Structure formats: structure tokens, C-alpha cells
Amino acid sequence: MRTVLLAATAAIAAGGAWWLSGQSDAKPTGDALVAVTMPATLSPGAEAGQQAFAANCASCHGTDAEGREGIAPPLIHKVYEPSHHGDMAFVLAARNGVRAHHWSYGDMAPVPGLTDAELAGIIRFVREVQVANGIR
């Protein structure tokens, strides 16, 4: 019995040490994750989308969708190219939220209040910036 108690105590202590080692006092910095080249011009739909992005997405994903260290991933990244995350993936993420699966920033909450037109513009903005950065 004593051996079992000692083993259980050791396992609990080891588990606690492991958990504590994963904790960090570091706060998110919000620094840009990728360098983004903006297109020389945006289509009218993407210009409207840029405004909607600024109002609804930029606080987490950065002004130019470059991502923010410790906060949210860059959308100007190969992971979000249309062949891997089509436009509907953006729609579903904004409408329903999305569980973290490519990055370790945690789950994304739904973005309330976006109209279909705003969401379409946001997607157009992101896609045009992706193309300017070689993501097709």
C-alpha cells in the first residue's frame, strides 16, 4: 500500500511540474508574424472589404492580415491558400467560430454582426492581398 501511495504522489508531483512548465508569464506581444506586401491597388470590392476587415478582424489578425504574435495567425499564409481553405472556410469561421487546428492560438469565436456583403468583401480583400504575396 505504501508503494502505491508513493507512486501516486510521485505521479501527481510529476504531472504538476509538467503543467507548470507549460505555463508562461509571457504576454502576447501583438508583433506582426509575417511581412505583407500590399497590392498597388485593390478592386472596389476589396477596398470595401478592407474597411470591414479593419472594423472586425484587424484587432486579432493585424491590419494587413499579417497575424499578431500570441493573438491570431496570419491570413496571408500558404495555410489559407484557396486550395486548402476555400472561401467557405472563411464564411464558416466568421459565422460559427472555428476550433484551433493549424495554430496554437486557441479557438476563434464567431464574429457577430457581419453582413453577407461585408464578409464577401473581407474575403475578397484577403484573397487580393494573398495574390500580391504569391499565394494563389
pLDDT at residue 12, rounded to an integer: 41
Residue 2's pLDDT is what?
Answer: 55
* Predicted structure pTM score: 0.78
Domain extents in the chain: 28-132
For residues 70 and 30, the answer to whether their CB atoms sit within 8 Å is yes
Measure the CA–CA gap between 39 and 42, rounded to whole angstroms: 7
CA distance 52 to 114: 8
| Residue 59 half-sphere exposure toward CB, CA atoms < 13 A | 5
pLDDT at residue 35, as a whole number: 95
Q: What pLDDT shows up at residue 29?
A: 76
Residues 6 or more apart in contact with residue 51 via CB below 8 angstroms: 121
Fold of 28-132: Cytochrome Bc1 Complex; Chain D, domain 2 (1.10.760)
- CA distance between the termini of the chain: 64
d(CA 108, CA 93): 7
Per the listing, cell 487580393 goes with 128
pLDDT of residue 1: 58
Which pLDDT does position 43 carry in this prediction? 98
Instruction: Please report the pLDDT score of residue 28 as a whole number.
Output: 61
Across the 136 residues of the chain, what is the mean pLDDT of every consecutive 10-residue run? 44 38 52 96 98 98 96 96 96 96 93 97 98 97
